[in-house]
């Protein structure tokens, strides 16, 4: 039982790490001042945002480091990279030192790489300590990464509301302090023992309660905000309290164990049929841990079944020869979930490229939007709203990440393929961009930001599960890193598109911070929003095609899972 309480301590530590290491989400808070200090164009500023995202493409380096270094050391190396990357940028933006543009680009790259290393540490902790409820642990902890910008916004306002450079200083030191706070639970990891069925049900119920607490935290950060220093300090203290509150879980576990050993064991309930929780109501998605587990869950078929599946596939394809759309849907489609795909096999799959395109035109374009929030608000004359917009995007991204776990909780009452949920998640993005193109009002800006944050947050959190289900759980580390190469590519392409339109409309304004080019009015981002809206429709169409191609595999998996449960 002591081991059980220690692993919940690790979960809380992982939540802290994720909550304070999503430092790339507050870039738009200081981007306008950074642009002015460096005296660069919007295109050059976009390259700095791309450098931060490019660090995610180096995620494989953290896995390599884990092969030779202990987990706690990898965590502190990530903190050191962030300290150097953001700390030196703070020295630049405050004019303490002057550095060439290329060196600043490398600093942004280093800072982005630190985020990826922190994420790897969190993934390893969740996978190792919660093998039976891994999807729930990952979904919960990854969700808190989306709320980082809102926390940093509160922290900055509680210290100096007028300073935007303060964000860089906080980005440098807070992850380091968080690592120090988290190191003791990480060093005291318990041995992983198989859990009985009742213990797994208790874990699932605990995760449900933690998700409810997470919703309260998100609502707190979304609706409670103030520019007054005293009030902001009080609100920031309240946010920290909500993050510390889950520490009560280990104490509850100890109390429950004591009650069972001293009180409950003195009574006999032989023959009692009482159950606290109905197992059917808490049956959650069973993660595909290995090919052997896939066999148990009915995912991998015998030779006879495989022949019948291939026959079904040929029959479906033959029946649709006259329809080119059905032919496209049926060609080389996945017939079962959980089949392992090596990198070479992965890139030859049509389903992978549909998935890649959906992510590229959906979640990534939302991330680029958040990077440009500072300039968007400035161009519409809403600069005082920048911090509010950052908080709104962060909070709704957080809710989107939490909602991504909904399919697992409602599985018994309503089953729908996870790729179908991806289609639904992408719907708000084109609506938001066309709304922003149609009107530049404050209400439209807030509504569009909320919709984009909700959509992109869901995609970021659901991507790991979708990759695991479609292309195999054992290869998910490599395959997911291949998938997220779209982030730096999208950051470069979409950011360059926006910056080009912006600079073409910009004018020199000597009295506006510096002599840098500044664009004011709806004209600055009108064409950008139209283009982004059209591109997101392409992503929506790609996700719909992916759903149509994979729904039979998901339906077959669910039928076999239910038959396994009933046996």
175-227: pLDDT as tens digits: 999 999 888 888 877 666 666 566 667 777 777 888 888 888 888 887 777 77
Q: Picking from 159-163, 432-436, 440-444, 562-566, which range would have the lowest pLDDT averaged per residue?
A: 562-566
């026959």: which residue's tokens? 311
**Token pair in block for residue 498:** 């926006």
Whether the pLDDT of residue 321 is over 70: the answer is no
Q: What is residue 277's three-state secondary structure?
A: coil
99 contacts: CB under 8 Å, gap ≥ 6: 88, 92, 107
Long-range CB contact pairs, 207-212, < 8 A, 24+: 207/133, 207/136, 207/137, 207/140, 208/409, 210/140, 210/246, 210/249, 211/140, 211/402, 211/405
Q: How confident is the model over 442-470, as a mean pLDDT? A: 85
| Residue (of 85, 519, 30, 562) closest to 297 by Cα position | 562
| Residue (of 219, 77, 230, 87) closest to 150 by Cα position | 219
Question: What is the model's pLDDT at position 46?
Answer: 80
| Residue (of 527, 522, 533, 523) closest to 440 by Cα position | 522
| Residue (of 414, 370, 546, 528) closest to 471 by Cα position | 546
> How would residue 83 be classed by pLDDT, with cut points 50, 70 and 90?
very high
Beta bridge pairs of residue 507: 518
Question: What is the model's pLDDT at position 329?
Answer: 62
Look at 189 and 230; give whichever has higher pLDDT: 230
Q: What is residue 532's three-state secondary structure?
A: helix
Beta bridge pairs of residue 508: 517
Mean pLDDT, rounded, of the chain: 76
Cα first-last separation, the chain: 31
pTM: 0.73
Do 373 and 45 contact (CB within 8 A), yes or no?
no
Whether the pLDDT of residue 413 is over 90: the answer is no
- Residue 518 has φ and ψ, to the nearest 5°, of -130, 140
Q: What is residue 513's three-state secondary structure?
A: coil
Question: What is the model's pLDDT at position 192?
Answer: 66
Do 429 and 539 contact (CB within 8 A), yes or no?
yes
Question: What is the model's pLDDT at position 250?
Answer: 59
Look at 86 and 410; give whichever has higher pLDDT: 86
Do 458 and 400 contact (CB within 8 A), yes or no?
yes
Whether the pLDDT of residue 266 is over 60: the answer is no
Helix (H) or strand (E) holding 518: strand 517-518
* CA 54/CA 485 separation, integer angstroms: 8
> How would residue 314 be classed by pLDDT, with cut points 50, 70 and 90?
very low
* CA 515/CA 477 separation, integer angstroms: 46
* CA 490/CA 459 separation, integer angstroms: 15
CA distances from 522 to 392, 528, 529 (A): 21, 11, 10
Do 420 and 551 contact (CB within 8 A), yes or no?
yes
């002015």: which residue's tokens? 36
Whether the pLDDT of residue 139 is over 70: the answer is yes
């Amino acid at each position: 039982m002591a081991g059980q309480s220690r692993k919940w301590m690790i979960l809380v530590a992982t939540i802290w790490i994720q909550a304070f290491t999503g430092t790339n989400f507050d870039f738009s808070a200081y981007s306008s001042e950074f642009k002015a200090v460096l005296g660069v164009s919007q295109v050059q500023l976009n390259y700095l945002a791309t450098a931060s995202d490019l660090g995610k493409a180096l995620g494989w380096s953290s896995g390599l480091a884990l092969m030779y270094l202990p987990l706690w050391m990898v965590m502190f190396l990530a903190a050191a990279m962030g300290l150097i990357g953001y700390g030196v940028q703070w020295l630049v933006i405050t004019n303490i030192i002057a550095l060439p543009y290329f060196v600043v680009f490398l600093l942004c790259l280093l800072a982005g790489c630190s985020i990826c290393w922190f994420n790897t540490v969190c993934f390893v902790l969740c996978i190792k300590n919660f093998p039976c409820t891994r999807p729930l642990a990952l979904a919960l902890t990854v969700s808190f990464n989306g709320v980082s910008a809102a926390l940093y916004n509160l922290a900055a306002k509680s210290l100096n509301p007028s300073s935007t450079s303060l964000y860089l200083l906080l980005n440098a030191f807070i992850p380091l302090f968080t690592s120090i706070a988290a190191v003791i639970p990480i060093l005291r990891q318990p041995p992983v023992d198989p859990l009985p069925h009742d213990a797994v049900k208790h874990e699932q119920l605990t995760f449900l309660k933690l998700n409810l607490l997470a919703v309260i935290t998100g609502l707190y950060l979304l609706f409670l905000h103030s520019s007054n220093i005293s009030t902001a300090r009080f609100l920031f203290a309240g946010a920290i309290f909500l993050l510390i509150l889950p520490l009560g879980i280990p104490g509850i576990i100890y109390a429950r164990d004591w009650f069972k050993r001293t009180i409950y064991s003195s009574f006999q309930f032989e023959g009692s049929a009482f159950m606290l929780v109905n197992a059917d109501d808490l049956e959650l998605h069973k993660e595909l841990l290995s090919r052997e587990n896939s066999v148990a869950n009915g995912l991998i078929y015998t030779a006879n079944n495989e022949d019948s599946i291939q026959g079904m596939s040929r029959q479906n394809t033959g029946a649709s020869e006259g329809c080119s759309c059905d032919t496209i849907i049926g060609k080389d489609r996945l017939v079962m979930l959980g089949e392992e795909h090596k990198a070479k096999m992965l890139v030859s799959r049509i389903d992978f490229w549909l998935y890649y395109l959906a992510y590229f035109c959906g979640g990534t374009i939302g991330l680029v939007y958040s990077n440009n929030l500072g300039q968007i608000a400035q161009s519409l004359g809403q600069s005082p709203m920048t911090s509010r917009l950052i908080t709104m995007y962060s909070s709704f991204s957080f809710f989107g990440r939490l909602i991504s776990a909904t399919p697992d909780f409602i599985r018994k009452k309503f089953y729908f393929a996870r790729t179908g949920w991806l289609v639904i998640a992408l719907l708000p993005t084109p609506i938001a961009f066309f709304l922003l193109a149609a009107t530049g009002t404050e209400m439209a800006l807030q509504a569009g930001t909320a919709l984009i944050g909700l959509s992109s947050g869901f995609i970021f959190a659901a991507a790991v599960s979708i990759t695991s289900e479609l292309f195999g759980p054992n290869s998910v580390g490599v395959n997911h890193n291949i998938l997220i190469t779209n982030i730096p590519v999208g950051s470069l392409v979409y950011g360059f598109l926006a910056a080009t339109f912006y600079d073409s409309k910009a004018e020199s304004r000597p009295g506006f911070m510096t002599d840098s080019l500044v664009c004011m009015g709806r004209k600055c981002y009108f064409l950008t929003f139209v283009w982004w809206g059209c591109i997101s429709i392409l992503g929506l169409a790609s996700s719909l095609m992916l759903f149509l191609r994979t729904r039979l595999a998901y339906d077959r998996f669910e039928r076999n899972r239910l038959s396994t449960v009933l046996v």
